Amino acid sequence: MPAPDLARHPLTRWSGPLGLPDFSAIADADFPAVFDAALAAHQAEIAAIAGNAEAATIENTLEALELSGEALDRVCAIFWCRAGAHTNPDIQALERAIAPKMARHFSAIHMNAALFSRIDALHREREALGLDAETARVLEKTWKRFVRAGAKLGEEEKTRLAAINERLASLGAQFGQNVLADEAAWALYLDEGDDLAGLPDFLKAAMVEAAASRGYQGRYAVTLSRSIVEPFLTFSARRDLRLKAFEAFTGRGGNGGDTDNGPVVRETLALRSQKARLLGYDSYAAFKLDDTMAKSPAAVLALLEPVWEKARAKAEVDRQALQRLAAAAGDNAPLAAADWRYWQEKLRAEKFAFDEAGLKPYLQLDRIIDACFDVAGRLFGLTFEEEKTGIAAWHEEVRVFEVKDADGAHRATFLADYFSRPSKRSGAWMSSLQGAHRLGAGAAPIVYNIMNFARPPRGRPALLSMDEARTLFHEFGHALHGMLSEARWPSVSGTAVSRDFVELPSQLYEHWLTVPEILKKHALHHETGQPMPAELVDKMLEARNFDAGFATVEFAASALVDMAYHSQREAPQDPLAFEAGTLERLGMPKEIAMRHRTPHFLHVFSGDGYSAGYYSYMWSEVLDADAFSAFEETGDVFDAATAQKLRAHIYSAGGTKDPEELYRAFRGKMPSPDAMMAKRGLA
């Protein structure tokens, strides 16, 4: 069979509207041959750059490297989107095959001695090259990336490191697929009557839809989607059913058999430890943090440990209150982790005279999407026009929007995939089919958000919890970071920033969800169209830190365990015993579970993205609490001058400058953790 023509194939030549691929012309069977052809094409481009007889220049080496591999970038963008958002056995089999192949390919590039010698020559002469600041930063980051990937190692060490990278890629793919398999395989089917005691109508409607999608018409399904299982744990009056659901939810990836992630984690940690030592670092955490704002595990712990102690103390006060409330209701059993959300919601209703179920009628998905767009318009002058006809995407539920600047010029294409399904991995995320840059011919951003909201019955609106509405704003903040990029160089565009800075644009954007004028305009009752009553808004805002102890313990435990795993010089032989020992040392309340237990900790083990980096959400939270204060101090949370600085120095700058320099340019100073502590209700 002849190799595919990369200049004409729909996977690599995108001819759809708004610069999109023509998904209707793409078949799963196309991927293997196009991957092979694109890898070969990229290898040829790299060989030409490395073998250039002329002396290295920015144009013939750095620019050529940045612009190489376009076909590979395109097929990868489509494939990894499919692998996360709409997979199947064929895609999963290919994922297991392509992950190590990609690792091998990029190891070969980073360990190419001739290529590195050209980059090294430019790096040595950088002061004499008269480079602009962005180009100088790209050169520095490129040189460091090659060094961190083993370019300076001896041949034997290079071979070993390449093998480690290849195996880690396979393990990451396997970890994610195991979690997805456990999530897809489990459901708790319930019937009318006592099974549904305590459940609000919005949850019962979502459970009917979930059961029907699995072939169980007329029944109710508790699934392991957070959009269903967490409200079930919050409202179900049946403790026995809560215990079953909680055990399944926290047990994902750790159930034995073919999908058990214990061996995957053990080998992953061992290989990461070996990789760090090969590259001259004491631990994998030291390796990962060397290129972040935090710089060291000690700096991370200096943030996390004081927060942990305050959160644990708050959680203990709350535990006693919940136990008393349960006892007063006739439940004298010791409070268990499966009980916390249930009694916490009862206590919220008692203290603040409202519950989360009372908010849901006002939080329609479409209205919250409109609110996201409205805020982006007020801050940055953007408009969003939905393309409702004739544009195919990876799934029929995907929505497509053209994004325009204030002058009407095309800014970006935005795609959104909102509902949970068995073919989609859990969680919520932002990514890009195409990043923005201005090198060569340039490229306009094509950005997408993935959510896992419960699908409503046909003809009824999807109603969100406040936490889900925040998640939508959060991921849209990431999307704006990609869409507003003005970077020239692809490698520093959009979200290509240090891990503990990347969450700033997303977490900051969450603040605008609860701005009163946004709630008044968009938080409208799905039946009456009336805005959320001011009294309910006030109660919601008053209660927003009500669960601060629980929420912070849940998060910080995961961050501290992640850091503990990766701070060891020698990886633990029994990761789950190490997890238990770490939690015992920390004094983890037995009534609260980690937000992400080790066997399903996708951030850390399904790839390398947040390994030794889960802390970054809290690190960025220190920044976002202070950044929103910049608006509050003006008396106008949409202040135009502050918004212009925010766009210029945070959302549009990408990684063109050091993150601390960017933040200082916006705010004039670096923040202390005090604002974050106050925001969480822990001050």
List the structure tokens of 625: 């609490």
Kind of pairing between the strands at 188-190 and 220-222: antiparallel
Distance CA 132, CA 583 (A): 48
Q: Do the Cβ atoms of 575 and 262 come closer than 8 Å? A: yes
| Closest among 382, 378, 407 to 522, alpha carbons compared | 378
DSSP alpha helix (H) spans, 223-364: 226-235, 239-251, 262-278, 284-289, 297-328, 340-352, 356-359
Selecting among 475, 510, 554, 621, the annotated active-site residue is: 475
Please say whether the beta carbons of 9 and 41 come within 8 A. Answer: no
| Residues sharing a CB contact under 8 Å with residue 272, sequence separation 6 or more, in sequence order | 168, 284, 566, 571, 611
Kindly report the three-state secondary structure assignment for every residue of 63-100: HHHHHCCHHHHHHHHHHHHHHHHCCCHHHHHHHHHHHH
Rounded distance between C-alpha atoms, residue 132 and residue 118, angstroms: 19
**For the range 514-522, what are the long-range contacts, defined as Cβ-Cβ under 8 Å and sequence gap of 24 or more?**
514/540, 514/541, 514/544, 515/375, 515/637, 518/371, 518/374, 518/375, 521/371, 521/374, 522/367, 522/368, 522/370, 522/371, 522/374
Are 530 and 537 in contact by the 8 Å Cβ rule? The answer is: no
User: Which residue type is seen at 57?
Assistant: T
Q: Single out the residue of 332, 325, 331 nearest to residue 350, CA to CA.
A: 325
Listed as own residue / partner, the contacts of 519-522 with beta carbons closer than 8 Å and 24 or more positions apart are 521/371, 521/374, 522/367, 522/368, 522/370, 522/371, 522/374
Classify residue 330 as exposed, middle or buried by CB count within 10 Å of its CB (0-12, 13-18, 19+): exposed
Q: Does residue 450 contact residue 424 with C-beta atoms inside 8 Å?
A: yes
Reply yes or no on whether 475 is catalytic.
yes
DSSP 606-674: SSSTTTTTTTHHHHHHHHHHHHHHHHHTTT-TT-HHHHHHHIIIIITTTTSS-HHHHHHHHHSSPPPTH
Task: Provide the β-strand partners of residue 582.
Answer: none
CA–centroid distance for 156 within its chain = 36
Residue 571: HSE in the Cβ half-sphere, 13 Å Cα cutoff: 21
Encoded tokens for 435: 């990043």
Q: Beta strands 410-419 and 383-387: pairing type?
A: unpaired
437 DSSP assignment = B
User: Which residues form the catalytic set?
Assistant: 475
